[in-house]
Amino acid sequence: MDRAKFLEAREWVRSQLDNVQAFWLKNGMDAEHGGIYTCLDRKGEIFSTDKSVWMQGRCGWTYAYLCNIYGVKDEWLKASKSCIDFLEEHCVNHDAQGRLYFTVTGDGKPLRQRRYCYSEAFYCIANAEYYGITGEKEHLERARRAYDMYWNLNHGMPDPTGMGPKTIPETRSGRSLGIPMIILNVTGVMKRVDPEMRHVYDERAKECVADIFNYHVKPELGVTLENVGPQGETRLDITEGRMVNPGHDIECSWFLMDYANDVGDKELHKKAIEVFDMAFNKGWDTEYGGILYFMDCLGRPPEAYEHDMKLWWPHNEALIASMMIYRDTRDEKYLDIFYQILDYCKTYFADEYGEWYGYLRRDGKPTQPACKGSTFKGPFHVPRCLILVDQMMGEVLGE
């Protein structure tokens, strides 16, 4: 390892973390109604006052996690609490047994409910992380309730909103990779802050890992498939069945490595590295650089219009995963991959006005007008990446 190069890279990561967390505190926090606005343009101006419920939970988690790692700062804890309070006051659908909305107005009126359960997942981790800092039991109780609902909704519980599946189940049903991988990550947060229930979290995490490898990982195709049949059947005659999301797969790989490290499973760690290798080899754009958003596992036309764009979050996940592999194995190949991704992020995503662009064209130019946030992008993937990478680089240096 070139120590000077490594230290220089870590200094950039740390400077970006300072930049990014400050960008959202300055431009996004809603002093009037609480919570955070995330539809921000390049300079941080708000272009829509509707609020993403996902982002309230993710922001609540991020600023609590910053307190966990770097020590409590009043502005961080205040931002976390503002988002969590806004969630509790405005984003819970009490007519649907506590399910959460997907979007609300700036002052908290409900706009949209989705069948997906990710609002519940992010509400859960926000309250859990806040409990880990404050010890306020109410937040742990909220987190436990949301976690159980999230688990049960994905294990046969009828949706209390009355919304059915996307496709008519008599015609087609199946499995989506996003469900076990996100549950695995949420379970890891719960296990860390709620050791009293570790036995439950361990069993559920084990089931998630089994689902990922039994159904979605397809070494014979060199990919991890996003959508499969109920027993993991491949459906190569339809575009949905051939879809590969390299960013998801890379994110999944470090969730698996994190779990493997927690339970001391070296074989699982090796298998998780293989998931990363397949995804990175498939997704890296050898012509323009960066990670493509969607791929077809057989090289046929993907259905998603945005398939050849470069989005911020797959690159965040790739920085985390490659550094995690290097930290755990000291294989220089993965440090080289880390630098390769970092150089791309420095060149194309980071910006003089703060934060990272969210959406790039295939050639690396930002979509116009450029934005720093949206319903799906807020203070989560970029700061989470920078926090974790900073911590792992410190571990490599023996700190």
- Each residue's pLDDT expressed in tens, for the chain with a length of 399 residues: 999 999 999 999 999 999 999 999 999 999 999 999 999 999 999 999 999 999 999 999 999 999 999 999 999 999 999 999 999 999 999 999 999 999 999 999 999 999 888 999 999 999 999 999 999 999 999 999 999 999 999 998 899 988 888 888 888 899 999 999 999 999 999 999 999 999 999 999 999 999 999 999 999 999 999 999 999 999 999 999 999 999 999 999 999 999 999 999 999 999 999 999 999 999 999 999 999 999 999 999 999 999 999 999 999 999 999 999 999 999 999 999 999 999 999 999 999 999 999 999 999 999 999 999 999 999 999 999 999 999 999 999 998
Task: Out of 1.10.260.40, 3.40.50.720, 3.30.465.10, 1.50.10.10, select the CATH number for domain 1-168.
Answer: 1.50.10.10
Nearest by Cα to 313 from 290, 347, 289, 286:
290
| DSSP character at residue 95 | G
Evaluate the CA torsion angle 359, 361, 364, 369 in order and state its sign.
Answer: negative
| 381-396 and 3-27 helices, crossing angle to 10° | 150
Beta bridge partners of 103: 52, 112
Rounded-to-integer distance, Cα 189 and Cα 186, Å: 5
Identify the helix (H) or strand (E) that includes residue 311. Answer: strand 310-311
The two most distant CA atoms of the chain are separated, in Å, by 60
The pLDDT value given to residue 166? 83
Please give the angle made by the CA atoms of 298, 301 and 304, to the nearest 5 degrees.
115
The pLDDT value given to residue 388? 98
The pLDDT value given to residue 156? 86
Residue spans per domain, the chain: 1-168
| Six token digits for residue 215 | 């159904």
pTM over 0.75, yes/no: yes
